[in-house]
Amino acid sequence: MIDPDRHVVLVGMMGAGKSTVGRALADRLGRDYADTDELIEIGARCSVREFFREHGETEFRNAEGVVLDAALRTFAPGVIGCGGGIVVSEGNRALLRNGRGVVVWLRARPDTLAERLRDVTDRPLLDGDPVGNLGRLAATREAWYAEVADAAVDVDDLDVDEVVEAILS
């Protein structure tokens, strides 16, 4: 049962399905969906890749904190999809734990992520060695996702509707 007074916040690695699941979940709940990558792109008027190139990763994590804080403060509880690296920043992890949202970790094996991201070119942190980078990032971040999550859903063998059902239950 979803708490009607709190946002649902989706975290997990890129390729775990946060945006797709987040939009489907928002539809089911009759809520708005917000995506931290999109909010940054709108605010900075550039793509995530351009933002990384112009300002670097640390500034990107700061920007994630700003848009996450703003989204969590909005009055009507919604569904918020977070960029996969939002948990890298300790300040962002504190925001995720502040109680305004129920944080759900969409957890996937690295081979699932690699398969889903096979044709994707807009993730700067995967440049050069996508599969190796995914594995390294996933290993580094696992403890951080666990630290912020109220619940985890293993998404490897589930379709979008099944993940939505798992979150709702």
Q: Footprint of ligand S3P on this chain (CB under 6 A)?
A: 14, 18, 37, 48, 83-85, 123-125
Residue with tokens 């670097």: 56
In the complex with ligand S3P, the residue whose CB is nearer, 75 or 122, is 122
Q: How far is the CB of 19 from ligand S3P (least distance, A)?
A: 6
In the complex with ligand S3P, the residue whose CB is nearer, 77 or 85, is 85
In the complex with ligand S3P, the residue whose CB is nearer, 99 or 121, is 121
Residues contacting residue 56 through CB under 8 Å, at least 6 positions apart: none
Residue 32 main-chain phi, psi, to 5 deg: -80, 155
Q: How far is the CB of 5 from ligand S3P (least distance, A)?
A: 26
Q: Which of 76, 50, 75 is nearest to 63 (CA)?
A: 50
In the complex with ligand S3P, the residue whose CB is nearer, 3 or 146, is 146
Burial of 63 (0-12, 13-18, 19+ CB in 10 A): buried
Q: How far is the CB of 14 from ligand S3P (least distance, A)?
A: 3
E-strand ranges in 17-144 read 33-35, 79-81, 101-107
Q: How far is the CB of 134 from ligand S3P (least distance, A)?
A: 9
